[in-house]
Amino acid sequence: MSNRPIDLLDHAKGKRIIVKLKNGRQATGLLMALDMHLNMWLNDAEVTEDDKVTKYGKMFLRGDSVVFASPAE
């Protein structure tokens, strides 16, 4: 196991993660893929904004819109 921060997310592939976005929304979903820019592909994705949840299914998130990302426990 490496000590790089991105490795935490790399080991979370196939698991649910939480992503806080710069626009204040929060996305959750199963992490399918990511790259070193934090571009992410989520399955079963949902976005929460002002206590309203919208289901999207598959979603691509651009890394430059990410504030933080964490495996959901």
Give me the CATH number covering residue 64. 2.30.30.100
Average pLDDT taken over every residue of the chain: 94
Higher pLDDT, 1 or 7: 7
- The pair of three-digit structure tokens given for residue 62, joined into one six-digit string: 């651009």
Residue 8 has pLDDT above 80, yes or no: yes
Question: How many domains, in total, are found in the chain?
Answer: 1
> Hey, is 29 helix, strand or coil?
strand
Contact 9, 30 (CB under 8 A): no
Tell me how far apart the terminal alpha carbons of the chain are, to the nearest angstrom: 20
Look up the domain containing 54 and give its range: 5-71
Residue 21 has pLDDT above 60, yes or no: yes
pTM for the full predicted model: 0.90
